[in-house]
């Protein structure tokens, strides 16, 4: 056998794959992995079919279908008052995860340090490590998971190269507030630090809050790779289409990696989404759509013994279970799946050290009848 020196020796199968596989094996309701169980818009599907029939079946331009990049630019300017040049500052990617990986590997070199706030989506740290970088994690705690910026200052060193932000946040459903932006601006001022801002849930903001995109703040936008996705808002996670926005000098370097990683993204779906975005209601109405699901699910959970944590964005609801058990969160997640037929995600999986605050994450991007069945089973726990 030829030996291999693994670049990710500690990496195993992601918790999302594990729990979804277990849910399928035992026939459980899958509230673990973040995908809907209802179909995407028939209009959008028809637009994909039309694009295929019209011959949009070959390679797309490396940076993405230009009309789509133009619609992304218009949307960003409308929402955040920031103009991104479709030619030089926007690239369509094979989902948000590819955009994140590309942005990290674009600027991170061996021994560069990247600050990551945990619990964190599980693709950040592996990309940093593959690039030879070093993860500097700051653990956040329930129930509010607020960033302690005085602690961030202590993590900053002359090797700090990037700070990764995620708002709305997966898994905690928290969002950045204006005071977070002010603190971030103070920390990065006059420092050679990039920002990777994971904003794939940008349209899922509730209760009158606004999304504090890095695009709103010129001094932050100048150093930011902003990542977004179409899979989450348009209920089509399997299509794996996202994008990255950054100032032209950063995007030029981003595209050098992108072209040799995937080169381009499937064309007919890009063509379809470019047409779909012309109707602003297709994204402006998403907040209300998911707020109704959030409120419906939370009302159901009131009949259980789970303690709900705040949910200000995304389509996830986290809960504590201290009134139910003192088991480790992974142990309880497995038991809920096998014995009660509801698959969930243990939030310890989002911590590099497996820190267990006895918190579970549910996905409520599901049909009403699915949520009803899940709640009926959770009431028995």
Per-residue pLDDT of the chain (381 residues; tens, 9 = 90+): 898 999 999 888 899 999 999 999 999 999 998 989 999 999 999 999 999 999 999 999 999 999 999 999 999 999 999 999 999 999 999 999 999 999 999 999 999 999 999 999 999 999 999 999 999 999 999 999 999 999 999 999 999 999 999 999 999 999 999 999 999 999 999 999 999 999 999 999 999 999 999 999 999 999 999 999 999 999 999 999 999 999 999 999 999 999 999 999 999 999 999 999 999 999 999 999 999 999 999 999 999 999 999 999 999 999 999 999 999 999 999 999 999 999 999 999 999 999 999 999 999 999 999 999 999 999 999
As a whole number of angstroms, the distance between CA 61 and CA 264 comes to: 6
pLDDT score, position 199: 98
**CB-CB contact of 327 with 346 (8 Å):** no
Q: For the chain, where do the domains classified as CATH 3.90.1150.10 start and end?
A: 15-40+284-378
Phi-psi region of 246 (alpha: psi -120 to 50; beta: other; left: phi over 0): beta
- From the candidate CATH numbers 3.90.226.10, 3.30.70.2740, 3.20.20.150, 3.40.640.10, the one assigned to the domain spanning 55-279: 3.40.640.10
SS3 label, residue 246: coil
pLDDT score, position 203: 97
Question: Alpha helices of 66-144 — where are they, by DSSP H?
Answer: 66-80, 95-107, 124-130
As a whole number of angstroms, the distance between CA 76 and CA 73 comes to: 5
Write down the architecture of domain 15-40+284-378 according to CATH. Answer: Alpha-Beta Complex (3.90)
pLDDT score, position 126: 96
- Residue for token pair 């009158």: 208
Tokens of 227: 């990542």
As a whole number of angstroms, the distance between CA 87 and CA 91 comes to: 9
Question: pLDDT tens, 94-119?
Answer: 999 999 999 999 999 999 999 999 99
Tokens of 284: 């402006």
- Measured at the alpha carbon of residue 146, what is the angle toward residues 142 and 151, in degrees to the nearest 5? 115
pLDDT score, position 296: 98
As a whole number of angstroms, the distance between CA 130 and CA 95 comes to: 19
First vs last Cα of the chain: how many Å apart? 49
Tokens of 112: 């560069």
pLDDT score, position 99: 98
SS3 label, residue 95: helix
pLDDT score, position 64: 98
**CB-CB contact of 125 with 135 (8 Å):** yes
For the chain, give me the number of helices (H) and strands (E)? 14, 13
pLDDT score, position 1: 80
Total number of residues shown for the chain: 381
pLDDT score, position 104: 98
């Amino acid at each position: 056998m030829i030996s291999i020196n693994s670049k990710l020796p500690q990496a195993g199968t992601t918790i999302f794959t594990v729990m979804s596989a277990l849910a399928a094996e035992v026939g459980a309701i899958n509230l673990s992995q973040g995908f809907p169980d209802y179909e995407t818009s028939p209009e959008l599907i028809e637009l994909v079919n039309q694009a295929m029939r019209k011959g949009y079946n070959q390679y797309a331009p490396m940076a993405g279908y230009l009309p789509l990049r133009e619609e992304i630019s218009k949307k960003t300017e409308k929402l955040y008052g920031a103009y991104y040049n479709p030619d030089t500052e926007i690239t369509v990617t094979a989902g948000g995860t590819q955009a994140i990986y590309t942005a990290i590997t674009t600027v991170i070199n061996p021994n560069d340090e990247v600050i990551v706030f945990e619990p964190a989506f599980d693709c950040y740290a592996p990309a940093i490590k593959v690039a030879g970088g070093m993860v500097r994690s700051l653990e956040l705690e329930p129930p509010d998971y607020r960033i302690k910026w005085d602690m961030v200052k202590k993590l900053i060193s002359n090797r700090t190269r990037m700070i990764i932000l995620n708002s709305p946040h997966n898994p905690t459903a928290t969002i950045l507030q204006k005071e977070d932006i002010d603190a971030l601006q103070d920390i990065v001022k006059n420092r050679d630090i990039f920002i990777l801002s994971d904003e794939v849930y940008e349209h899922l903001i509730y209760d009158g809050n606004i999304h504090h995109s890095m695009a709103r703040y010129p001094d932050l936008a100048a150093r930011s790779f902003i990542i977004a996705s179409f899979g989450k808002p348009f209920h089509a996670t399997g299509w794996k289409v996202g994008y990255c926005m950054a100032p032209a000098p950063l995007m030029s370097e981003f595209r050098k990696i992108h072209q040799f990683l995937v080169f381009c993204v499937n064309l007919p779906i890009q063509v379809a989404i470019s047409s779909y975005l012309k109707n602003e209601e297709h994204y402006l109405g998403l907040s209300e759509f998911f707020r109704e699901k959030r409120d419906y699910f939370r009302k159901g959970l009131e009949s259980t013994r789970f303690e709900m944590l705040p949910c200000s964005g995304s389509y996830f609801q986290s809960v504590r279970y201290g009134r139910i058990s003192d088991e480790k969160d992974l142990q309880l997640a497995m038991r809920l799946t096998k014995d009660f037929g509801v698959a969930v995600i243990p939030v310890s999986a989002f911590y590099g050290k497996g820190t267990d605050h006895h918190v579970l994450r549910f996905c409520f991007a599901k049909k009403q009848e699915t949520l009803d069945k899940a709640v009926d089973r959770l009431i028995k726990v």
